[in-house]
Amino acid sequence: MRKYDKSCDDIPGCALEGALNIIGGKWKGVFLYHLLDGTMRFNELSRITRGASPRIIVKQLRELETDGLIQRKVYPVVPPKVEYSLTEKGRSLQSILMSLSHWGEKWTNRPTSLDASPVDLI
């Protein structure tokens, strides 16, 4: 049984806890966000993690695959070619991921447009 597979009857916040257990992890949200733009190969995903070990990247990608958020397609070629894309379940997170991105832009003082100042974002 996975740690989020428990009954949520009458437990406040349980559904949120389950959701965060699925998409939590240092790189999972980043992978999901970038896969909104389309299919990516392993090396492309590796580049956006800035120094994460291949072992950690593979582990988090496999967890996302196990949870049904992404799909992994392996091509029978040498050298191996592997592509990752969102499933419908993963794509259902689009509005949440975009909202988190906008919130992050606001609270890390990164203007969302050239004419916005950090004061405008508060």
* Helical segments of the chain, H only: 14-23, 28-35, 42-47, 54-66, 88-91, 94-107
Chain segment 57-94, per-residue pLDDT in tens: 999 999 999 999 999 999 999 988 999 999 999 999 99
In this predicted structure, what is the pLDDT of residue 119?
47
Mean pLDDT of 31-48: 96
First to last CA, the chain: 43
Query: Distance (Å, rounded) from C-alpha 13 to C-alpha 11?
Result: 6
Residue 32: exposure state from Cβ atoms within 10 A (0-12, 13-18, ≥19):
buried
- Please give the biggest Cα pair distance in the chain: 53
Q: 62 to each of 1, 55, 108, how far by Cα in Å?
A: 17, 11, 30
Residue 12 falls inside a structural domain: no
In this predicted structure, what is the pLDDT of residue 108?
86
pTM of the entire predicted model = 0.78
For residue 100, what are the contacts with CB-CB under 8 A and spacing of at least 6? 29
Query: Which range of residues forms the domain containing residue 53?
Result: 27-100
pLDDT band, very low/low/confident/very high, at 5 (cuts 50, 70, 90): low
Do 90 and 35 meet the contact criterion of CB atoms below 8 Å apart?
A: yes
Residue 110 falls inside a structural domain: no
- Counting the structural domains of the chain, the total is 1
CATH code of the domain covering residue 62: 1.10.10.10
Query: Distance (Å, rounded) from C-alpha 93 to C-alpha 20?
Result: 12
Residue 108 falls inside a structural domain: no
pLDDT band, very low/low/confident/very high, at 17 (cuts 50, 70, 90): confident
Residue 2 falls inside a structural domain: no
Rounded mean pLDDT of the chain?
85
Residue 50 falls inside a structural domain: yes
